[in-house]
């Protein structure tokens, strides 16, 4: 940088330090408007409502900053006209909606999108969602959900990207970029909202809304990284979470909202509560009443109130009583106005209602949704390579999820239209001579009286495809389960068709990893498809037929039993790690001595290991990793680790492998996880083909929050693995000096 530029940069920094840096045009517009606003008008901006009898009247008075859950473009324009044309300062309303995995064209649920390990595809899907949703007038979505999830009993694992911070961050950034695009004033740009800030997925017992006990160090090493990555990627807003962390509800937690979010990350976006999460601080026992909750939320750093009505009702009083400084109100309203200016709402507040559906279900949208469903499917078993069924003519299709157009869309698919869903039955009929006997009407159905018909039909088929799983309502918010096996008589249905002696292919369509060990024993192949959305059936049929090859990898660990939860690959080692010599229940001798079984960390009945580890998934071919080499064996703090390796398709079919790089810090000032995902790459290979690949990993990315709460790389011994899942590969040692 030349001397002149250095001088200017230095001057600007000095001016900024004393708070008088020249304002940007954006900040000037915000401040000019803020200066004209009365306290009531400021409070109006901080109030978000979902419908309501007096909506138009309140909008005309400038008493509403945002609405949610209206997707009718005409109605949106009508409310917007009331705000823009009748209110004193003509401030437009911000229209929001939960566009979580598509708007009309529904993509796989986010857990399925994470299974693709394909951020570029996920970004494309988010862009499609933004195009369709903004065409209806929605300019703000409450997505991506970044909650790290280690417990499949929690129904909301469906909405996030699973258990790994690195995968979570890449998926979150992809969605932020897809939703927002490059030009926020473009009418198709939809503001992202990072949620739920923070630690919501650590709910004790996997029971939704339950307490969490997360240390600051765990917050910083596990739960915050994806949020920080998305803030750095330019996310325009963030939502506080329902849960309390060690007794402090996130909606009233100034350490999170001011110290970390604003102070450390310099976030200048807008913070909204979750639905009535401000009011819920009364139920938490953190606020005396709604007025006190309002005081706590605003002083903690919340800008907008979703549906507690506390802000609209009490802020004026609280300011007069001196319990909230008007400066805090000004800060909140600046954040809200800045978002509205950034989206170009003042210049372009209305939606072209005539063309709202012009782009919906566009061929390229459906193609992206189908590709996402193909790549999200995980092949967990394929005995004797029974799949793909490319030479079979007649199949029996059975199971309650074979033709379930509504449930296939999964949770948080409000605006999906089941009549557009392509179900597995519909798509398989295009490929095979299909006999269809559902056997069960819905996933919880226990009526086995039609099993005889299924049995008879199986006798006439060459193979059987059993589609089982979860109705959409069994997944998502407030839908926790204490048991994770297939509901109803689904497992019995699989066992029934097993008796036919025909090849049995099970397709699980669900919102979480279920405990399916029993079902694996009763089938030849099992394909796992996290509620795959509108085009899910077409994707499943292509995979079964062999027109596409499965490449999905588990974004969460699959358990053998719900009792193992929480279970995750990047765990600490403990002082007595399981060592494979454990004695299981059925092998324990009578009158065994107290310590005769050894003393390691496992379950007498279930053992230790999961059913499938994180990052696991089969293909229709096989892959071999070889010639793994590091550029050095010892590295300085400023160095970059280069890992080169060969990946070969050793099978007879085309395939895509997700090559993964894991590291381990063997000794730290605090104990460190046994593995951490640091890189991954999807690699397409034809039969016999070998590609020479490399991962580059700056040593700086081995940093963690250590005993002294410093974010540092601690010198010492490390290991790394290059493999197709978190449990495979061999350890390659290296050191950091």
Q: Which is nearer to ligand GLC, 66 or 551 (CB)?
A: 66
CB of 477 to ligand GLC, least distance (A): 6
Q: How far apart are CA 173 and CA 684, in angstroms?
A: 24
Per-residue tokens: 641 = 């680790």
Please identify which residue in 41, 118, 151, 274 interacts with ligand GLC, judged by CB under 6 A. Answer: 274
CB of 412 to ligand GLC, least distance (A): 8
DSSP string over 387-413: -S--S--EEEEESTTTT-TTGGG-SS-
Q: How far is the CB of 731 from ligand GLC (least distance, A)?
A: 40
CA distance 194 to 196: 7
- Quick note: the x/- pattern for ligand GLC over 231-270, rule CB under 6 A, is ----------------------------------------
Residue 142 within binding range of ligand GLC, rule CB under 6 A: yes
Q: Is 432 in the site for ligand GLC (CB under 6 A)?
A: no
Residue 315 near residue 298, CB atoms below 8 Å? yes
**Non-local CB neighbours of 678 within 8 Å, separated by 6+ positions:** 166, 661, 662, 663, 695, 697, 701, 720
Answer positive or negative: Cα dihedral of 238, 243, 247, 249.
positive
- How far, in Å, are 218, 718, 729 from residue 674 at the CA level? 15, 11, 14
> Measured between alpha carbons, how far is 409 from 423 in angstroms, rounded to an integer?
10
Q: Closest approach of Cβ 278 to ligand GLC, in Å? A: 13
Residue 551 and residue 371: Cα distance in Å, rounded?
11
Q: Are 661 and 720 in contact (CB under 8 A)?
A: yes
Q: Kindly tell me which of 279 and 438 has the beta carbon lying closer to ligand GLC.
A: 279
User: Which DSSP string do the residues of 10-47 spell out, in sequence order?
Assistant: HHHHHHHHTT-PPPPHHHHHHHHHHHH--HHHHHHHTE
Residue 444, classed as helix, strand or coil, is coil
Please identify which residue in 41, 63, 98, 415 interacts with ligand GLC, judged by CB under 6 A: 98
Active site residue 519: no
Minimum CB separation from ligand GLC for residue 611, in Å?
A: 29
Closer to ligand GLC by Cβ: residue 98 or 519: 98
- The yes or no reply on residue 275 touching ligand GLC (CB under 6 A) is yes
Binding of residue 151 to ligand GLC (CB under 6 A):
no
CA end-to-end span of the chain: 32
Cα-flanking dihedrals φ and ψ of residue 245, to 5°? Answer: -110, 115
What is the rounded distance in angstroms from the CA atom of residue 66 to the CA atom of residue 395?
Answer: 52
List the one residue from 101, 104, 139, 195 that touches ligand GLC (CB under 6 A): 195
Q: For residue 538, how many C-alpha atoms fall within 13 Å in the half-sphere facing its CB?
A: 15
**Binding residues for ligand GLC, total number by CB under 6 A:** 6
Minimum Å gap between C-beta 290 and ligand GLC is: 18
Tokens of 722: 């290059």
The strands making up 433-436's β-sheet, listed across from edge to edge, are 378-382, 525-530, 504-510, 463-469, 394-398, 433-436
Closest approach, Cβ 411 to ligand GLC, in A, equals 11
Cβ proximity of 463 and 395 under 8 Å? yes
Q: What is the dihedral of CA 339, 342, 346, 351, to 10 degrees?
A: -90
Min dist. Cβ of residue 277 to ligand GLC (A): 8
Determine if 227 is a binding residue for ligand GLC (CB under 6 A): no
Question: Whole-number minimum distance, CB 595 to ligand GLC, in Å?
Answer: 47
Vertex 451 angle, CA 447 and 455, to 5°: 170
Would you give the binding string for ligand GLC spanning residues 464-503, x where CB under 6 A is met? -------------x--------------------------
CA dist 40 and 88 (Å) reads: 12
Task: State how beta strands 634-635 and 704-705 pair.
Answer: unpaired
Cα–Cα nearest to 647, from 681, 692, 687: 692
Closest chain position to ligand GLC (CB)? 142
User: Of 168, 208, 274, 561, which residue is the catalytic one?
Assistant: 274
Q: Which is nearer to ligand GLC, 251 or 534 (CB)?
A: 251
Question: In angstroms, rounded to a whole number, what is the distance separating the alpha carbons of residues 240 and 246?
Answer: 16
We find the least distance from the C-beta atom of residue 275 to ligand GLC, in angstroms, to be: 4
Q: Give me the residues that bind ligand GLC (CB under 6 A), please.
A: 98, 142, 195, 274-275, 477
- Please give the positions annotated as active site: 274
């Amino acid at each position: 940088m030349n001397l002149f530029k250095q001088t200017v940069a230095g001057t600007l920094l000095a001016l900024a330090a004393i708070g008088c840096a020249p304002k940007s045009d954006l900040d000037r517009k915000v401040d000019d408007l803020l200066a004209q606003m009365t306290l009531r008008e400021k409070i109006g901006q901080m109030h978000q409502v979902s419908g309501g009898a007096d909506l138009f009247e309140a909008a005309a008075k400038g008493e509403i900053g945002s609405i949610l859950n209206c997707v009718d473009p005409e109605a949106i324009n009508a409310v917007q006209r009331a705000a823009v044309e009748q209110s004193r300062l003509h401030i437009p309303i911000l229209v929001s909606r939960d566009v979580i995995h598509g708007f009309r064209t529904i993509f796989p649920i986010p857990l399925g999108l994470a299974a693709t390990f394909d951020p570029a595809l996920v970004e494309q899907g988010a862009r499609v969602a933004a195009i369709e949703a903004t065409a209806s007038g929605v300019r703000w979505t409450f997505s991506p959900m970044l909650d790290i999830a280690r417990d499949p009993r929690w129904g909301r694992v469906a909405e996030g990207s699973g258990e790994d911070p690195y995968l979570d961050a890449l998926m979150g950034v992809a969605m932020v970029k897809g939703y927002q695009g490059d030009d926020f004033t473009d009418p198709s740009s939809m503001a992202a909202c990072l949620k739920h800030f923070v630690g919501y997925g650590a709910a004790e017992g996997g029971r939704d809304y339950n307490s969490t006990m997360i240390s600051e160090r765990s917050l910083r090493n596990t739960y915050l990284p994806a949020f920080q990555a998305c803030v750095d990627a330019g996310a325009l807003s963030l939502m506080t979470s329902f849960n309390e962390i060690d007794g402090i509800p996130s909606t009233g937690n100034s350490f999170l909202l001011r110290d970390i979010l604003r102070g450390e990350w310099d976030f200048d976006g807008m913070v909204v509560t979750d639905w009535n999460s401000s009011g819920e601080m009364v139920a938490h026992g953190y606020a005396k009443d709604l007025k006190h909750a309002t005081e706590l939320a605003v002083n903690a750093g919340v800008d907008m109130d979703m549906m507690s009505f506390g802000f609209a009702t009490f802020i004026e009083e609280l300011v007069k009583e001196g319990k909230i400084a008007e400066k805090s109100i000004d800060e909140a309203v600046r954040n809200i106005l800045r978002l509205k200016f950034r989206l170009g709402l003042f210049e372009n507040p209305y939606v072209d209602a005539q063309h709202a559906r012009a782009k919906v279900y566009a061929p390229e949208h459906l193609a992206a949704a189908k590709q996402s469903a193909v790549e999200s499917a995980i092949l967990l078993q394929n005995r004797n390579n029974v799949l793909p069924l490319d030479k079979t003519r007649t199949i029996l299709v059975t199971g309650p999820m074979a033709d379930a157009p509504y449930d296939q869309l999964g949770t948080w698919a409000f605006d999906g239209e089941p009549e557009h869903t392509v179900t597995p039955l519909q798509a398989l009929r295009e490929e095979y001579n299909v006999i269809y006997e559902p056997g069960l009407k819905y996933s919880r159905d226990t009526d086995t009286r039609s099993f005889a018909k299924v049995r008879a039909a199986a006798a006439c088929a060459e193979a059987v495809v059993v589609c089982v799983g979860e109705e959409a309502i069994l997944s998502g918010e407030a839908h926790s389960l204490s048991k994770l096996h297939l509901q109803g008589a689904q497992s019995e249905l699989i066992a029934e068709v097993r008796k036919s002696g025909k090849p049995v292919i099970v397709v699980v369509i669900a919102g979480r990893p279920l405990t399916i060990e029993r079902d694996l024993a009763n089938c030849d192949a099992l394909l796992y498809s996290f509620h795959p959305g509108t085009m899910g059936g077409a994707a499943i049929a292509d995979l079964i037929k062999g027109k596409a090859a499965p490449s999905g990898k588990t974004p969460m660990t699959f358990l053998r039993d719900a009792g193992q939860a929480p279970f995750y690959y990047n765990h600490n080692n403990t002082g007595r790690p399981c060592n494979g010599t454990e004695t299981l229940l059925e092998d324990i001798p009578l009158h065994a001595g107290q310590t005769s079984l050894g003393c390691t960390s496992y379950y007498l009945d279930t053992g230790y290991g999961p059913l499938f580890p994180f990052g696991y998934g089969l293909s229709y071919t096989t892959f071999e990793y070889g010639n793994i080499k590091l550029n050095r064996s010892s590295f300085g703090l400023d160095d970059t680790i280069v890992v080169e390796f060969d990946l070969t398709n050793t099978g007879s079919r085309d395939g895509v492998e997700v090559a993964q790089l894991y590291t381990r810090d063997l000794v730290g000032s605090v104990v460190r996880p046994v593995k951490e995902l640091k890189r991954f790459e999807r690699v397409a290979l034809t039969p016999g083909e070998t590609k020479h690949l490399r991962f580059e990993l700056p040593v700086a990315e081995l940093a963690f929050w250590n005993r002294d709460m410093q974010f540092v790389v601690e010198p010492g011994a490390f290991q790394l693995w290059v493999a197709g899942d978190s449990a495979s590969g061999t350890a390659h040692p290296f050191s950091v000096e």
